[in-house]
Amino acid sequence: KKRDDTIKRSKDAGLKVITEVGKKDSEVEMPISQICEDIIVDLDHGAEKVIIEGRESGKNIGVYDNEGNIMDKKVDAILDGINHRQNAIIWEAPHQHQQASFIRRFGSNVNLGNILPRDILGLEALRQGLRYETLVHFASENKLKNE
């Protein structure tokens, strides 16, 4: 209730509200159903975007396994649970391979967070298809368009 009121009051004050869902403790796993419910409630109360917790480690938390790989089934379940309101989500993705995976999956304008300042230029190169991790993906996409 307090969270909902805070979102509403902030929105009424003219602020853009961005919230975060998930647990900071990797030992406590939040059920996907709870993540989805929290996202929907926050968006319905006026949040512009909702961050999915990934921590600075990007490992064993949120949508990441112990090695930091994206668990696609969790991502799919979250998207299904929020009626595919993907543009309202910010995925915390501190590692380049995570960023590249989200870019390949959702496109170069995917909302990514928890990016270190020193990694911003590399991320932009990924978004533009100027690094190998996304160059092949964008090149094959363009080839299909031209056929």
* 114-142 average pLDDT score: 84
Q: What is the pTM of this model?
A: 0.85
- Summarised one tens digit per residue, pLDDT across range 100-111 is 999 999 999 999
Q: Where are the alpha helices (DSSP H) in 1-147?
A: 2-12, 32-44, 72-81, 96-106, 120-127, 132-146
Which residue from 110, 39, 43, 49 is spatially nearest to 79, judged by alpha carbons?
39
- Summarised one tens digit per residue, pLDDT across range 1-54 is 899 999 999 999 999 999 999 877 667 778 999 999 999 999 999 999 999 988
Give the model's pLDDT for residue 131. 77
Per-residue tokens: 104: 């390949």
Per-residue tokens: 1: 């209730």
3-state secondary structure of 108: coil
Instruction: Supply the mean pLDDT for the chain.
Output: 89
In angstroms, what CA-CA distances link 130 with 91, 110, 134? 21, 16, 7
Cα dihedral: 60, 63, 64, 66 (round 10) = 40
**Residue ranges of domains in the chain:** 2-115
Domain made up of 2-115: CATH architecture: Alpha-Beta Barrel (3.20)
* 89-93 average pLDDT score: 97
Beta 18-21 vs 49-52: how paired, if at all? parallel
Instruction: Check whether 143 has a pLDDT greater than 70.
Output: no
